[in-house]
Chains A and B, each alone.
Chain A
Amino acid sequence: DAKTTQPTSMDCAEGRAANLPCNHSTISGNEYVYWYRQIHSQGPQYIIHGLKNNETNEMASLIITEDRKSSTLILPHATLRDTAVYYCIVRGAFSSNTGKLIFGQGTTLQVKP
């Protein structure tokens, strides 16, 4: 599975959009990009995933560049409850490790009033 690189930490003002970048330059054609977040050492929570098209759900939007080497998670109107560690993970859909997610350090997002 491809390795990802994320900034260690980011700040965002409450009510503003939070844009969290992720680099995955070694991603291969059948690998998905997943985003999870972990609030205060609770169990991680799934946010969104995508292959190559941009995706949106009730929590966030995922923008994947055309070459698929990077992506951005967008929280359109960040609230204080969005303060968490955000993990960007790349996983092969049909690899022998199907189902295993390898978590890195993630980005600590601090939403400030």
Chain B
Amino acid sequence: EADIYQTPRYLVIGTGKKITLECSQTMGHDKMYWYQQDPGMELHLIHYSYGVNSTEKGDLSSESTVSRIRTEHFPLTLESARPSHTSQYLCASSVAGAAGELFFGEGSRLTVL
């Protein structure tokens, strides 16, 4: 079983609110990722990190931001949520080096009214 956790699993909030989606892993993985997925659609990489103090934007432009102050923690923040941010956000981690499999969390489903 993968030890990667996301909270909250479900969140319904109003427009303009600031939200933080939490992601933690206890496997000591250096690499962590955030994917965004709309219902029935593909997963799109929005952020990734190769280690502490390292963050990069992914292939899909996102208004969210991330931080990596500790190895095990990779939170995603939206400063001012909008209905267009309604989606599922999936966090993943992997070991460093070649050909490492990704372990995914259960996802955070965000609805912005």
Contact = CB atoms under 8 A, between A and B. Distances in A.
B101 A99 contact: no
Given A99-B50, A100-B48, A103-B42, A41 B88 contact: yes
Interface stretch (B62-70, B74-82, B91-99): B91-99
B52 interface: no
Contacts of B33: 99-100
Given A43-B104, A106-B42, 18 more contacts: A41-B107, A42-B106, A43-B90, A43-B105, A43-B107, A44-B43, A44-B90, A44-B92, A45-B104, A46-B101, A46-B102, A49-B99, A99-B33, A99-B48, A99-B50, A99-B100, A102-B59, A105-B42
29 contacts: A32-B99, A34-B101, A36-B102, A41-B39, A41-B88, A42-B106, A43-B90, A43-B92, A43-B107, A44-B43, A46-B101, A49-B99, A91-B99, A98-B97, A99-B31, A99-B50, A99-B96, A99-B100, A99-B102, A100-B33, A100-B45, A100-B58, A100-B59, A102-B45, A102-B59, A103-B35, A103-B42, A103-B44, A106-B42
